[in-house]
Amino acid sequence: MLKSIIILIILSLFIGTGVWLFFVWAVKKGEFDDIEAPKYRMLDDDDDDNETDD
């Protein structure tokens, strides 16, 4: 019982460290620099992409 708890604690620490390192990498890469623009980008009217020849 105690061995399984120790294994689970160690495993969760490794997973948590991995998630933290991935988050730090994403912040350094600039993934969270502009979080407001994508929600407005879908509202832009792109008529050029949707034109059909009649």
Digit-coded pLDDT (tens) for 16-38: 999 999 999 999 999 888 888 88
52 domain residue, yes or no = no
Q: Mean pLDDT score of the chain, rounded to an integer? A: 87
20 domain residue, yes or no = yes
35 domain residue, yes or no = yes
Domain that holds residue 36: 2-41
13 domain residue, yes or no = yes
Reading the block at residue 32, the tokens are 């969270």
What per-residue confidence (pLDDT) applies to 8? 98
Nearest-angstrom CA–CA distance, 17 and 10: 11
Q: How many domains does the chain have?
A: 1
Is the pLDDT assigned to residue 15 strictly greater than 80? yes
pTM over 0.85: no
